[in-house]
Amino acid sequence: MNLLTSQIVRLSTFCLLISLFSCSSKNEATKEEQISISDQVKIESTDSTSVNSIKGNLSLKQIPTVPMNVILTGLKEHRLVTVYKLRVVKEKKDTYSYSRSYDEPGESETQEHFMPGVDLVYGYNLLNIAHYDLTTEKLNFLFDHPVLVKSLYYPSFVQDSINKKPINRNYYLVSVYDADTNADTLINKKDLRRLYYFNTNCNEKIQLIPPAYSVVRSKYDPMNDVVYIFARHDANGSGKIEKEEPLHIFWFSLKQPAEAKRLY
């Protein structure tokens, strides 16, 4: 084997190892953000005087979790708490440790101004959102079981305006994978993605897009203060979305969100 051939072989081997490592890391990351149906435990709402009850709920019992951040909303008495998944790592025989599947606050939670009067948090291994009312001292969860929250839209903390007129929102919108729609025993990105409206106290929930659809993306119309939702129709009822299935467009008003109307 001459020098050139030897170098080519070494380079090919190196590239193959890099490729395998990359695929392995990607698969591990993909596997990380999912919930097994066997871990589904119903979560009960509680109040601040029941400390033990709160701790039990936040742990979600079978899934180790941790509250990361208190989100300051534009509603004075209303605050939200993001609840994230902890990764369990087996170190030695019958020995386990917990490692965070996120960075410190400010690094993992990307908060940004999304639409007038609305701020946005992107989730990764975000299993639930807790709502707390400072006046009543009541805490309740948006979902009664662990889910995968992808986007949380909430009233902006800083006063906003449209055409120089103050605008205030009094609700929350959540884009989420909340059910094992394709019946593979997991809740992950292969399932249908839903979009929900929650009122001020988070005790009223409305599904904005029909159940047989999966949200793909959205577009804001500033002239009419409405949102267009692009959603793919699960035409064959498989519980998952395929590229050949039709893409439809819905819309709803941000002034008072309700079940979206189909535009296309």
Residues 6+ apart with CB under 8 A from 261: 250, 251, 252
Q: How far is it, in rounded angstroms, from Cα 38 to Cα 70? A: 29
* Lowest-pLDDT range of 160-169, 201-210, 219-228, 234-243: 160-169
Burial class (CB in 10 A: 0-12, 13-18, 19+), 123: buried
Domain boundaries of the chain, sorted by first residue = 42-262
pLDDT tens track for 24-40: 444 444 456 888 876 65
Give the containing element (helix H, strand E) for 119: strand 118-122
Q: How far is it, in rounded angstroms, from Cα 182 to Cα 207? A: 19
Q: Which residue has the higher pLDDT, 161 or 22?
A: 161
Q: Which residue has the higher pLDDT, 5 or 249?
A: 249
Q: How far is it, in rounded angstroms, from Cα 178 to Cα 145? A: 8
Q: Would you tell me how many other CB atoms lie within 10 Å of the CB of residue 232?
A: 20
Give the containing element (helix H, strand E) for 213: strand 213-221
pLDDT tens track for 66-86: 999 999 999 999 999 999 998
145-183: b (≥16 Cβ within 10 Å) or e: bbbbbbbbbbbbeeebeeeeeebebebbbbbbbbbbbbe
Structure tokens at 146: 């662990």
Q: What pLDDT, on the 0 to 100 scale, is given for residue 141?
A: 97
pLDDT tens track for 172-215: 999 999 999 999 999 999 999 999 999 999 999 999 999 999 99
Provide the mean pLDDT of the chain. 79
